[in-house]
Structure 1
Amino acid sequence: MNDSADIRFLLTLREGGSLIAAARKLGVSPSAVTQRLQQLEKKLGAQLVNRTSRRLQFTEEGTLLCERGAELIQQFDSLFEDLHMRRGGLIGTLKINAPLGFGRRHLAPAISGFQQQNPDIEVALTLSDKPLTGTMDRFDIVVHIGELPASNLVGYTIAPNARFVCAAPALIKRIGAPDSPDDLSKLPCIVLQENNEDVSLWQFSKGRLRRSVRVPARLSCNDGDVIRQWACEGRGVILRSEWDVADDIAQGRLIRLLPGWKAPDANVMALTHQRAGLPARTRHFMQYLQSRFRPLPPWRR
């Protein structure tokens, strides 16, 4: 393995997960991918991939090459990117993973604006209901909303974001407004399924008081737009991010409940694998993203 092309080939294999996907990405036939992999393994004298299942499974040697090789490729690309920056531009591919709703409403327009300002940058956006449970090293940036689980990722705050308990006026007129978080256990509720969290356990604070309430999940979905629409139709109570319900509250489609009680904040974070040595395109996009949401994010303007 004497050049970066072999490492890039292996990384493409791992990202695609199959010979067919890798062949499609490389623009060659699956047999050509197989032949190149065999030649690489012969040159190294080690098996890199087990091909006994429908999906490729990397051996310890293959995994090591991908992990260490990805770091080398990033350093290699950063070097030439910095050289290109001296001539006045950004180059390369920026891979971003983000939640479905926030990605559609707020991140996609930001990416469009950034790419328009930097036409030599290629941006690949992946939207998911479980952005933290995928293969993290496939992405340069993962946008996350809420508390960050224990991990080796480095977090940068993009925007503040509270969470509100809301319901449609018609539902409140029919069942009455709750006086305390405990009352929610008797009301029809709607929950958002994301990141394998315990989504029906809602937590609140009021000064030094703490309350945890197990709500009845009459409806649930992995798409925030769906549960917000159900709430606007009067189907149940939701606990939802401020960025998602601010317009509905302002327009009277939803009413905020329990304003004296505070749910844990769910700030918008951008996560990277390391703090130092980030490519220029990643650093500049992070700065651009932060500028889009400062001094106030759109949902607080």
Structure 2
Amino acid sequence: MITSEDLAFFAVLADSRSLAEAARKLNVTPPAVSQRLQALEARAGVQLLDRTGRRSSLTDEGALVAAHGRMVADTIDALAEALGDRTSKVSGHLRVAAPHGFGRLHVAPVAETFARTHAGVSISLELSDHPGAQLIESCDVVIHIGPAGPPNQIMTTLAPNRRILCASPAYLEHAEPIAEPGDLARHRCLVVRENNEDVTLWRFSAARRDPVTVRINPVMSSNDGAVVRDWALAGMGIAIRSEWNVADDIAQGRLRAVLPGWELPGADVVAMLGSRRGRSARTTAFLAMLRQALNPVPWRHHQ
């Protein structure tokens, strides 16, 4: 017979990339996780994890057990929260995902303060290259920077964030003048490759001007925005970066805004919520604290 403890164990395993990661989350050794999994599969009478490939993956039966495990964990959390409401306490486990750079700089300090303020809450913060809607099933809050998610996704804006075309003074000093977006086709361009987005098509708009789309030929690309920013600082070319990431560089003169009269599509900082988890008291309290930390907007203190 499968117990609620088994379901809770397997839910952690299903949300981990490896048995070793699950062991760290459960504070046990990898062999202990492997033994418990084998015992659970023996009782269930089916294989729950396919270990034949380079990475373990859930079998169909494993996915079913994991789904029920999450339901049990969420039900327990909801009960704890309902009881906490009667004593005005925020409790339960809060799962947050955020981009690496923004998460380290702006989300992690809030998570620390939140944990100090609410002793009954445990927090896991997952930093990812490109957190998106696909993580919402395993997280309470997904911090996202960029275009809006699916139309049915519940989202709330936390802070405004522009995207800025920029380059170092050293690069601009020796490069051809840039008067119009079309001039960029003749320049060294640096791009961040994300998902399947066409990052070689740069779109610009300006007051009383027709929108302009420019096809650039990137000389360097990376899936890490911090690397592209470093390349721009080193004078390797022109890049599009988030305002939160380069506002200080521009204020200190390490980078200069290029074509300041033209605007790029915005990339506000938003929180994506699950339909049910969006009503949780701990989620609401965390978002309120994060929104307060981002108001006034930290990257606009020079303006």
Q: Conserved in 2, the CA contact under 8 Å of 1:101 and 1:223?
A: no
Which consecutive unaligned segments of at least 5 residues does structure 2 have?
none
For 2:246 and 2:29, the matched residues in 1 are separated by: 48
Q: Conserved in 1, the CA contact under 8 Å of 2:135 and 2:142?
A: no
Partner of 1:178: 178
User: Deviations along 1:57-99, whole A, 9 cap, x unmatched?
Assistant: 2222221232243134213212212312433432333222211
For 2:147 and 2:276, the matched residues in 1 are separated by: 19
- Higher mean alpha-carbon deviation, 284-293 vs 81-90, is at 81-90
- The code of the aligned residue for 2:116 comes to Q
Secondary structure of the corresponding residue to residue 90 of structure 2: coil
CA 27–249 in structure 1, closer or farther in 2 if over 3 Å, else same: closer
Partner of 1:120: 120
- The code of the aligned residue for 1:244 comes to N
1:208-227 alignment, distance < 5 Å: 209-227=210-228
Q: Conserved in 1, the CA contact under 8 Å of 2:2 and 2:43?
A: no
For 1:231 and 1:30, the matched residues in 2 are separated by: 43
User: Deviations along 1:137-191, whole A, 9 cap, x unmatched?
Assistant: 3322211101034376422111111111112223222224411111111111111
- Higher mean alpha-carbon deviation, 188-197 vs 280-289, is at 188-197
Q: Conserved in 2, the CA contact under 8 Å of 1:129 and 1:195?
A: no
1:1-301 alignment, distance < 5 Å: 3-132=3-132, 135-150=135-150, 153-207=153-207, 209-275=210-276, 278-294=279-295, 296-301=296-301
Q: What is the aligned-residue RMSD (CA, Å)? A: 2.6
- The code of the aligned residue for 1:289 comes to L
For 1:31 and 1:124, the matched residues in 2 are separated by: 23
For 2:198 and 2:278, the matched residues in 1 are separated by: 36
Q: Conserved in 1, the CA contact under 8 Å of 2:2 and 2:44?
A: no
- The code of the aligned residue for 1:182 comes to G
For 1:259 and 1:277, the matched residues in 2 are separated by: 38
Task: Give the structure-1-normalised TM-score.
Answer: 0.87
Which consecutive unaligned segments of at least 5 residues does structure 1 have?
none
- Displacement of 1:220 after TM fit? 2.3
CA 246–13 in structure 1, closer or farther in 2 if over 3 Å, else same: same
CA 177–50 in structure 1, closer or farther in 2 if over 3 Å, else same: same
CA 164–84 in structure 1, closer or farther in 2 if over 3 Å, else same: same
Secondary structure of the corresponding residue to residue 16 of structure 1: coil
Secondary structure of the corresponding residue to residue 25 of structure 2: helix
For 2:234 and 2:20, the matched residues in 1 are separated by: 44
For 1:275 and 1:64, the matched residues in 2 are separated by: 20
- The code of the aligned residue for 1:283 comes to T
Task: Give the structure-2-normalised TM-score.
Answer: 0.87
Percent of aligned pairs with the same residue? Answer: 44
For 1:59 and 1:194, the matched residues in 2 are separated by: 29
